[in-house]
Amino acid sequence: MQIAEVPPPLEVDPARRIFGLETEFGLHVHAPHSRPVTPEEVAGHLFHSVVQWGRSSNVFLPNASRLYIDVGAHPEYATAECDTITDLIAMDKAGERIVHDLVADGEKRLREAGVDGTIYLYKNNTDSAGNSYGCHENYLLRRRADFAGFGRQLLPFLVTRQIVTGAGTITRTPEGAHYSFSPRADHMWEGMSSATTRSRPMINTRDEPHASAELYRRMHVIVGDSTMAEPTTLLKVGATDLVLRLLEARVLMPDLALAKEMQAIRDVAHDLTGTATVELADGRTMTAVEVQQSFLDTVVVHLDGIIERTEEVERILDLWQRGIDAVRSQDFSSVDTELDWAIKLRLIQRYQDRLGCALDDPRLARLELAFHDISPERGLANRLQSQGLIARVVTDDQIARAKTSPPATTRAALRGRFVQEALAAGRDFTVDWVHLKLTGNEHRTVLLKDPFRSVDDRVDLLLADLG
Amino acid sequence: MPQVNASGQPYEDDAPEPAAAPAQQASTDALDDLLDEIDGSLQTNAEQFVRSFVQKGGE
């Protein structure tokens, strides 16, 4: 038997980072004239075709991403490891298409089970009863000792990031309705901890790098909103990456540690004027606009130094500044084709003007759901995008390719190829983020601890066994 | 798409048409066209539709 050696970790450019996005979709069956049906039953029908080929409702796909049913019967899609934000956006959008592709068969099976209804999948963060589900961002960090200090410096950025990258939502209160920056903000209960469903922190400290633990650590951000517009995702991940690059380079950041993170994230969310102040640990007060501007200014200082000036970096910085300016000036028109909260606000206000109704009118809640509907034909974000009312970052061709092909420059390329070839050969296999194994060939389990490595002799040998 | 106004539907749009702003941008027209197209489906049993979307929390 040939033996291939475990390759040493690659020397990686510090600017290169592995990104991943995990999206939980809202699952809604509308069947007003049928028997009641639970989300669990709907999810079972929706995933029937997945179980058929994958023998499980928890699978890795030929594009190396993971698809499964999560807690609460939410279909969840976790992108494969990407080392560019463009790849990440294409993979994330491909996930919407992949999950949507399950709907027709799910509806057919539901009909056979006596439920004549329509399945809607929403890329949003709350249902009508106020339950919340997430979009988790993963950033691979080089391991350093003071992760807690690192998180503390990042929290003021994450608390205020919603004024540019929030999804926007109509918030209903006993006193009436108002528009807020982030549907997620009211569901956050801690700054940092290892909990998720019990008490949601903004940064989850669970240390699962899915890579060599001596070298890497995961920054697991769970405070963000699911975002529809590609430029919003670019800014959400891009600005966070730039701040992380400075922290990793041990740049002395302005000390903006917040006195009360939970209070601050709510105060910022519910103030569209951007003038509400947050209290810092040192007793000062600042607005969210000032906090974001301070982070952006610090990043700009290190442009052409720690941060290489690329077209993508320039686009991120430009949108970041225009987003802050829009809130500061209260003129949202400069970002209302790029930032989710502004796109949605424009849509809601236009419809509200036509209807002449109050903001808590159920027709506007219905409009909000339609915006997050991932159906390419029915979903409003998709329709606005095809009308040119939402700007693009990637092309439809890139998304179509990402549905079936993994990112080429990370470990995902190995996993994707393995899944594709094992499926084509009709072989049973087991796969997770770091392992590849053919059933009946356990002695040749391949452990992939380097997420930057896209070529590995051991995988070639494993695939040669497929004959 | 025909404009649906289901019977028993408590919402009626009897607000006056907003005055047309001068020099409408092309994107404004596209947005209005889209709203024209979906208006009927959004109005049909909106409250019942929205209320029927309940799941458990996730993560």
Kindly list the residues from chain A whose CB atom is less than 8 angstroms away from the CB atom of residue B16.
Answer: 356
- Residue A466 has what pLDDT? 85
Question: What tokens were used for B31?
Answer: 């947005």
- Residue A3 has what pLDDT? 66
Count the neighbouring beta carbons within 10 Å of the beta carbon of residue A397: 9
- Residue A5 has what pLDDT? 77
- Checking if the pLDDT of B10 tops 70, the result is no
Contacts 24+ apart (CB under 8 A), A257-260: A257/A152, A257/A153, A257/A155, A257/A156, A257/A281, A257/A282, A258/A155, A258/A156, A258/A159, A259/A283
Q: Tell me if A420 is assigned to some domain.
A: yes
**CA nearest to B42, candidates A332, A74, A352:** A352
Interface of B with A (CB under 8 A): 11, 13-16, 18, 27, 30-32, 34-35, 38-39, 42-43, 45-59
Q: How far apart are CA A243 and CA A224, in angstroms?
A: 15
DSSP B7-45: TT------SPPPPPPSS--HHHHHHHHHHHHHHHHHHTT
Give the CA dihedral A383, A399, A17, A241, nearest 10 degrees. Answer: -10
Spatial neighbors of A463 by CB under 8 A, at least 6 apart, are A417, A418, A421
Closest CB to B43: pick one of A28, A337, A363: A363
Return the axis-axis angle of helices A340-355 and A362-372, rounded to nearest 10°.
Answer: 140
Q: Tell me if A424 is assigned to some domain.
A: yes
**How many angstroms away from the CA of B5 is the closest CA of chain A?**
13
- Residue B56 has what pLDDT? 75
Q: Tell me if A22 is assigned to some domain.
A: no
Return the axis-axis angle of helices A261-269 and A147-160, rounded to nearest 10°.
Answer: 20
Report the pLDDT averaged over residues B24-30.
Answer: 71
Closest CB to A355: pick one of B15, B47, B48: B15
Q: Tell me if A279 is assigned to some domain.
A: no
- Residue A31 has what pLDDT? 94
**How many angstroms away from the CA of A297 is the closest CA of chain B?**
33
Q: Where does residue A324 rank: exposed (0-12), middle (13-18), buried (19+ CB within 10 A)?
A: buried
- Residue A47 has what pLDDT? 98
- The model's pLDDT over A19-74, given as tens digits with 9 standing for 90+, comes to 999 999 999 999 999 999 999 999 999 999 999 999 999 999 999 999 999 988 99
Interface A–B counts its CB contacts (< 8 A) at 122
Q: Tell me if A460 is assigned to some domain.
A: yes
- Residue A195 has what pLDDT? 75
- Residue B28 has what pLDDT? 74
Report the pLDDT averaged over residues B28-52.
Answer: 93
Q: Tell me if A92 is assigned to some domain.
A: no
DSSP assignment letter at A180: E
- Checking if the pLDDT of B13 tops 80, the result is no
Kindly list the residues from chain B whose CB atom is less than 8 angstroms away from the CB atom of residue A366.
Answer: 42, 46, 49-50
Q: How far apart are CA A207 and CA A213, in angstroms?
A: 9
A29 within 8 A of A115, measured Cβ to Cβ = yes
pLDDT by position in tens, chain A (length 467): 556 778 877 777 878 999 999 999 999 999 999 999 999 999 999 999 999 999 999 999 999 999 999 988 999 999 999 999 999 999 999 999 999 999 999 999 999 999 999 999 999 999 999 999 999 999 999 887 678 888 999 999 999 999 999 999 999 999 899 999 999 999 988 898 887 666 789 999 888 899 999 999 999 999 999 999 999 999 999 999 999 999 999 998 999 999 999 999 999 999 999 999 999 999 999 999 999 999 999 999 999 999 999 999 999 999 999 999 999 999 999 999 999 999 999 999 999 999 999 999 999 999 999 999 999 999 999 999 999 999 999 999 999 999 999 999 999 999 999 999 999 999 999 999 999 999 988 788 999 999 999 999 999 999 998 86
The backbone torsions φ and ψ at residue A169, rounded to the nearest 5 degrees and listed phi first, read -165, 155
Q: Which of B24, B29, B44, B53 to mutate to test the interface with A (most CBs of A within 10 A)?
A: B53
- Residue A145 has what pLDDT? 62
Closest CB to B59: pick one of A128, A200, A362: A200
- Residue B12 has what pLDDT? 38
**CA nearest to A223, candidates A87, A125, A289:** A125
- Checking if the pLDDT of B8 tops 90, the result is no
Expressed as residue numbers, the domain containing A449 is 1-17+410-467
Q: Tell me if A426 is assigned to some domain.
A: yes
Contact state of B57 with A39 under an 8 Å Cβ cutoff: no
Residue with tokens 């099976």: A109
- Residue A443 has what pLDDT? 81
Q: Which of A77, A128, A170 to mutate to test the interface with B (most CBs of B within 10 A)?
A: A128
Kindly list the residues from chain B whose CB atom is less than 8 angstroms away from the CB atom of residue A73.
Answer: 55-56
Q: Tell me if A243 is assigned to some domain.
A: no
**Could you give the number of structural domains in chain A?**
1
Kindly list the residues from chain B whose CB atom is less than 8 angstroms away from the CB atom of residue A371.
Answer: none
- Residue A13 has what pLDDT? 81
